[in-house]
Structure 1
Amino acid sequence: MKPAADLTTTAANAGSYEAGNDTDRLRDPSLYFNRELSQLDFNFRVLAQAQDPHIPLLERLRYLCISCTNLDEFFEIRAGTLRHAQDLGLAPGADGLAPAAVLTRIHDRAADLVKSQYECWNNVLRPALSDAGVRVLHRDGWSDKQTEWLRTYFREEIMPVLSPLGLDPAHPFPKILNKSLNIVVVLKGRDAFGRAGNLAIVRAPRSLPRIIQLPEDVSGGPHDFVFLSAVLSAFVDELFPGMKVEGAYQFRVTRNSELVVDEEEVDNIALALRDELAGRGYLRAVRLEIAEQCPKPIVRTLLENFDLPENAVYRINGPVNLNRVIQVYDLVQRPDLKFPPFQPRVLTGLDGMFERVGERDVLLHHPFESFAPVLELIKQAAEDPNVLAIKQTLYRTGKDSPIVDHLVQAARNGKDVTVVVELRARFDEEANLGLADRLQDAGVQVVYGVVNYKTHAKMLLIVRREGRKLRRYVHLGTGNYHSGTARVYTDFGLITADPDIGADVHQIFQQISGLAPVIKLKRLLQSPFTLHAGVLKRIDRETRHAKAGKPARIVAKMNALNEPQVIRALYQASQAGVQIDLIVRGACTLRPGVPGVSDNIRVRSIVGRFLEHHRVYWFANDGAPDLFCSSADWLERNLLRRVETAFPLVDPDLSKRVFDEALANYLLDNVSAWELQADGDYLRQHPGDGVPAHSAQGALLAKICS
């Protein structure tokens, strides 16, 4: 990653940093990486998995597709937001880079990534897959039999749903849907109306499969595939009879997908969001992907129509929608080319969840432990006549969620059910609108969160009558209530009947659904009120311990880090001698290893089989450690502009287990770990001589799932 400022300047300033802890000196832009560039660099680490010969071949293909999909989302959200910031003339962030400068660097870095992605596909994975009997066929490699079958397929399955559009004064450039596959065709000659050919656009409807599997009797093998884009290009001349096709070039435009709803200016956020969603696919363009051999005049025509600058163009050596090859992973049933299956450990004695949790807290570590206890808890709550109320937040749930089924059943059984549905969960907005409708139809009280604050906290509260008293049961998590992601994301979930935690969660629900004032919580930290301050307070406490000559240490794991006050506090702690280990999966704007500033801070990123997702903060606290699990990263948005929670592990055995499994274990990883250097590069870690290989995720699979 290219640094925000030259590292030699930072090193030269080290003496002044060592002279004191003046926070103004710690605002130097050279001490901060740019968030967007750091986030972009994460995809190089994902792509490295695709290039790793020790990983099963189809899994490598999956990593390649993930890096492509991540890049799509990066342009839809981060690049789109930057272009908007550039238009508004917004000031640079902590790194000192203006939006225009960041966009220029994004283009250069993204171009490197795209080049590496297609080199990996064309030179490594595609040939290796072919050798393994899984062939994604080049157009120039089709046999006569394959060509004839594909021609028939084109005529019968594809051609009837296409609507080619010749460009002339009566047919202006059409609207192009975000990330849709399109072909720009160069024509010569005249059609039946005497119109001269020039350019035409062929749009591929989303109803068409992007990967076509050839029948075994046609191809001679069970796993032969062709990209739809190749079929369109091969037979596009059939759409323009009597005219000569002189060129056909696939392209794809990416558009800004960040929905903007002024919540204070609308009467109904759900209705306003529905209106915004209708036009999302046609918002401002931010990137143009075009076939490598496309002539420059055609590229200029496309840029003019999409109102894009030259640095928004990416020449593609292959299919513009490379991420669609992920369908091959799903269609090919070859266990020898995938990770070995594993069976998550299932908690025993699920029949009586209330009795079990009433005796002792339950900690779940996903995906190594099954999500079933959470589902069972909600199911039993829906059926238990002693349960009076259920309150839950839903951010992402997945299609056909059993949780929603249980909540609907609970409402039908006469329980008081309140669900906070976050309508602004990015790319899940439409699904959550449908979810809200279904819950409301069943009699559930649906709340859309708090105006201008996304509700990102993961909370479940069950109120149950036991004898003459009411008892609260709570589930708190670092991840979503989504059975699918619970199988592929690393997350913690705590189920507890602790009275103080139950009271805190109750108050937070009251605050979200009502108009309650700022509340004082007993155990939980909450954004946007106490979480940011609570983190700063604990960092400062370690700093004071270090200055007093006591052992001081901070270990924290999260998805991303960019909040300037937290970073400055960490710099001050490092200057005081606090040993700090940060495990940050994605974007990290803190610069480690700067003499006199951050030489006691180490940052590593883990990229493995599962997506690292849990957030854990640990503070040594002079022998009485504080440990919190949380839904929040140390980002400005999470700490200051969202509703989030951080919850302590009250049971010391469970607290130690979280530290051992999610922190100490990950600090030992020398297989899937990347260490962030002071210049912004990430160096992959390898076992040293005589040092055994240690994969954090592998160790958890062996320990929990064996």
Structure 2
Amino acid sequence: MTASIPDDVTPNATTDLDNPDYYINRELSLLQFNLRVLEQAMDERQPLMERLNFLLIFSSNMDEFFEIRVAGLQNRLQTNTGQPTLDGMLPGDILKRISAIVHEAVTRQYHILNDILLPALASEGVHFLRRENWTSEQETWVKRYFRDQIYPVLTPIALDPAHPFPRLVNKSLNFIVSLDGKDAFGRQTGLAIVPAPRSLPRLIRIPDDICDDGNDNFVFLSSMIHAHVSDLFPGMKATGCYQFRVTRNADMEVDEDVDDLALALKGELLMRRYGDEVRLEVADNCPRHLIEYLLQKFELGEEDLYEVNGPVNLARMFTDVKRPRLRYTPFTPRVPARIKNAESIFDVVDQGDILLNHPFESFNPVVNYLAEAARDPKVLAIKQTLYRTGTNSEILDHLETAARNGKEVTAVVELRARFDEESNIEGARRLQEAGAIVVYGIVGYKTHSKMMLIIRRDANGNIRRYAHMGTGNYHTKTTKLYTDYGLLTSDEGLCQDVHKIFLELTGMGKAARLKQLMHSPFTLHSGLLELIDFETQEALAGRKARIIAKVNSLTDPQIMQALYRASQAGVPIDLIVRGMCCLRPGLPGVSDNIRVRSIIGRFLEHTRVHYFHHGGEERIYLSSADWMERNLINRVETCFPINDPKLRERILYEGLEVYLQDNSQAWLLQSDGSYLRAPFNEGEPLITAQQVLLERLT
């Protein structure tokens, strides 16, 4: 959607900053992010298997996009709650635009897969074998594998009055089969559905002794079922077999006024698998009458139909191929020298704050921090927020150990972390059984802040506080894949603030009065607005002003309007926004001084870093919150200052400046909402921010 810019826009207070033309639709902006991910599959500077992974990540992202974003828009349309958004678009218009963009993107995705990546991988000895290319030995092995491993767990469902169309699980792989002949009971139904159990792998490696060619050879589960589907219907002939899957609304609505939130969520988790249908994907060789039959059964329209030339569930194609040249070069995250051989992390933290830049620097010091606290007799209490931890979590293990060792362990577990609800419920149960105090945060506000507080008695008998605060989750897997910051500190002011927030989360009373931290839903939103306004006033007074911010998303109207006013005053503003950005840069008289870039690379950019010149008293903050209404208004979030000048200098370069120099993986947002790759001129050095940090920190 291209902005229509009025001719009479001037950089003054009379500009109507509510003008819808000044904003980009958030769903379309998120869709643009996913398109940037897709384009990584075409980047020949990336290793081949990593290019394939970007293609699969696009599929996974689009699944969630339909489950949450498209489902929400359809719900608003059906319930007649479709008021215009900030950008002036109505739900129906947004859905039409999404359908047009995604249909084009899916066609491109399968073209990249079939015509570019699979042939390139085959030339490197990685083969995804089609049925027509199987050798006789491979056919024999596939037949045996189907008979022994697949056939016993398949349940074909004939469609007749006694067997109505089954209720199929969200995103499950299924086949619609046309049949000829009669079954054992003399029935001639003509159609059947064959669901593929989720317990079966979607990609099966053929053993090396069957393919003695030194290659990695894979067969799709769907191909095996296609080849032997008639075996499921003795005495009948399958005249056609076509894969399909349906995507459903996976957003959960839980009544906050319940006696047991965990119990209520368990019920909703079951319902998530069978929400309203929002998308149908089907093989592009499926006959039209069967497609129309499926659309009718799922009550979907043509705009919800996606005919694909290949597997309908690309997200399940992730596989481990042991070919180093096709993968990113592995690296070992660095452990800072100060704590590498230290006997006690507490002693090191007493000497000064420790900054960790993940994944370039290891997350192990945080895990070891907690492990040491769990067994240290001087530690009295541990308090921690848990948003996403994973199912096999060392963090949970150490908290359990601490509780069993008699420490006062308090865990604020956010049960409503989307798609992690089940593992969080299980984690909460484990901690409760170990004797920890488990609370679920504040009704109506997700607890998204990342904090750990350790209460310890020193050698003189005095109580000391130690904290860890971060921009990312306590999830040891994502700390290897996401860029995030963590701070280990014993700064009394910071630790007191963290302590007050924990008391706020577990008790009742007025909002905590904090000395250094800003936290939502109380002071973070207003604090950011004040910091932006300070730069605005500095610029208006003719003094130097500067704003640099790195966030995952920017959608909050008041923040965007404050940035527009700062730009009008002449403040140079650089925004590094990975995903959604509803602000339009480069609008004459409105956002001339704002530049927005997005970095898409090996690691998912997840840090939230804010820099303000602040009259020469440079201020740098790290935060758990994005600049979105949900984070600043409807969640518990923290934003903490970096007090150590050396650490501020580090973050300014590592967290911001190097990303502004990136001319390899950077995309620049245009005022019409599109993105262009950052220009690279011959003779200039190629700068990849993430690679610079790998070389600098590992």
Which range, TM-score by smaller chain? over 0.9
Secondary structure of the residue that 2:602 maps to in structure 1? coil
| Matching residue of 1:261 | 254
CA offset digits 1:308-356 (Å, max 9, x no partner): 22211101110001121112xx2x1111111111111112234211111
Q: For the residues of structure 2 that align with 1:643 and 1:575, how far apart are their CA atoms?
A: 32
Within a 5 Å distance, the mapping from 1:278-677 to structure 2 comes to 278-327=270-319, 330=320, 332-347=321-336, 348-466=340-458, 467-677=460-670
Secondary structure of the residue that 2:409 maps to in structure 1? strand
Is the counterpart of residue 26 in structure 1 residue 17 in structure 2? yes
Aligned alpha-carbon RMSD (Å): 1.2
Q: For the residues of structure 2 that align with 1:295 and 1:529, how far apart are their CA atoms?
A: 57
Letter of the 1:697 partner, please give it: Q
Verify the 8 A CA contact 1:14 1:596 in the aligned structure 2. Answer: no
Cα deviation for residue 60 of structure 1 reads 1.0
Q: For the residues of structure 2 that align with 1:300 and 1:27, how far apart are their CA atoms?
A: 44
How many residues in Structure 1 have an aligned counterpart in Structure 2?
692
Cα deviation for residue 17 of structure 1 reads 4.0
Q: For the residues of structure 2 that align with 1:551 and 1:700, how far apart are their CA atoms?
A: 29
Letter of the 1:356 partner, please give it: V
Verify the 8 A CA contact 1:350 1:376 in the aligned structure 2. Answer: no
Is the counterpart of residue 131 in structure 1 residue 115 in structure 2? no
TM-score by length of 2: 0.98
Verify the 8 A CA contact 2:623 2:638 in the aligned structure 1. Answer: yes
Secondary structure of the residue that 1:37 maps to in structure 2? helix
Within a 5 Å distance, the mapping from 1:150-165 to structure 2 comes to 150-165=142-157
Letter of the 1:71 partner, please give it: M
Is the counterpart of residue 95 in structure 1 residue 87 in structure 2? yes
Q: For the residues of structure 2 that align with 1:352 and 1:535, how far apart are their CA atoms?
A: 37
CA offset digits 1:516-563 (Å, max 9, x no partner): 211211000101111111111111111111111111111000111111
Is the counterpart of residue 697 in structure 1 residue 693 in structure 2? no
Secondary structure of the residue that 1:216 maps to in structure 2? coil
Q: 1:662 to 1:73 in 2, by over 3 A?
A: same
CA offset digits 1:443-494 (Å, max 9, x no partner): 0000111111110000000011122421110100000011111111111000
Q: For the residues of structure 1 that align with 2:332 and 2:529, how far apart are their CA atoms?
A: 40
Verify the 8 A CA contact 1:475 1:496 in the aligned structure 2. Answer: yes
Q: For the residues of structure 2 that align with 1:632 and 1:691, how far apart are their CA atoms?
A: 35
Verify the 8 A CA contact 1:188 1:244 in the aligned structure 2. Answer: yes
Q: For the residues of structure 1 that align with 2:176 and 2:441, how far apart are their CA atoms?
A: 45
Secondary structure of the residue that 1:282 maps to in structure 2? coil
Cα deviation for residue 393 of structure 1 reads 0.4
Is the counterpart of residue 170 in structure 1 residue 162 in structure 2? yes
| Matching residue of 2:671 | 678
Q: For the residues of structure 2 that align with 1:513 and 1:101, how far apart are their CA atoms?
A: 44
Secondary structure of the residue that 1:89 maps to in structure 2? coil
Q: For the residues of structure 1 that align with 2:75 and 2:14, how far apart are their CA atoms?
A: 34
Q: For the residues of structure 1 that align with 2:541 and 2:354, how far apart are their CA atoms?
A: 37
Secondary structure of the residue that 1:423 maps to in structure 2? coil
Unaligned runs of at least 5 residues, structure 2:
none
Secondary structure of the residue that 1:130 maps to in structure 2? helix
Q: For the residues of structure 2 that align with 1:14 and 1:469, how far apart are their CA atoms?
A: 67
Letter of the 1:394 partner, please give it: L
Q: For the residues of structure 1 that align with 2:45 and 2:605, how far apart are their CA atoms?
A: 20
Q: For the residues of structure 1 that align with 2:162 and 2:400, how far apart are their CA atoms?
A: 53
Q: For the residues of structure 2 that align with 1:419 and 1:116, how far apart are their CA atoms?
A: 46
| Matching residue of 1:83 | 74
Q: 1:319 to 1:463 in 2, by over 3 A?
A: same
Verify the 8 A CA contact 1:562 1:589 in the aligned structure 2. Answer: yes
| Matching residue of 2:45 | 54
Q: For the residues of structure 2 that align with 1:220 and 1:35, how far apart are their CA atoms?
A: 51
Cα deviation for residue 87 of structure 1 reads 2.2
Q: For the residues of structure 1 that align with 2:14 and 2:607, how far apart are their CA atoms?
A: 33
Q: For the residues of structure 2 that align with 1:279 and 1:14, how far apart are their CA atoms?
A: 52
Q: For the residues of structure 2 that align with 1:506 and 1:186, how far apart are their CA atoms?
A: 64
Moved more, 75-84 or 669-678: 75-84
Verify the 8 A CA contact 2:468 2:488 in the aligned structure 1. Answer: yes
Q: For the residues of structure 1 that align with 2:342 and 2:565, how far apart are their CA atoms?
A: 47
Q: 1:542 to 1:384 in 2, by over 3 A?
A: same
Verify the 8 A CA contact 2:391 2:427 in the aligned structure 1. Answer: no
TM-score by length of 1: 0.97
Verify the 8 A CA contact 1:14 1:597 in the aligned structure 2. Answer: no
Q: 1:472 to 1:22 in 2, by over 3 A?
A: farther
Is the counterpart of residue 45 in structure 1 residue 36 in structure 2? yes
Cα deviation for residue 689 of structure 1 reads 2.9
Q: For the residues of structure 2 that align with 1:16 and 1:51, how far apart are their CA atoms?
A: 40
Q: For the residues of structure 2 that align with 1:138 and 1:219, how far apart are their CA atoms?
A: 14
Cα deviation for residue 243 of structure 1 reads 2.0
Decide which of 223, 238, 244 is 2:216's aligned counterpart.
Answer: 223
Q: For the residues of structure 1 that align with 2:387 and 2:7, how far apart are their CA atoms?
A: 44
Cα deviation for residue 396 of structure 1 reads 0.8
Among the aligned pairs, what percent are the same residue? 54
Letter of the 1:338 partner, please give it: R
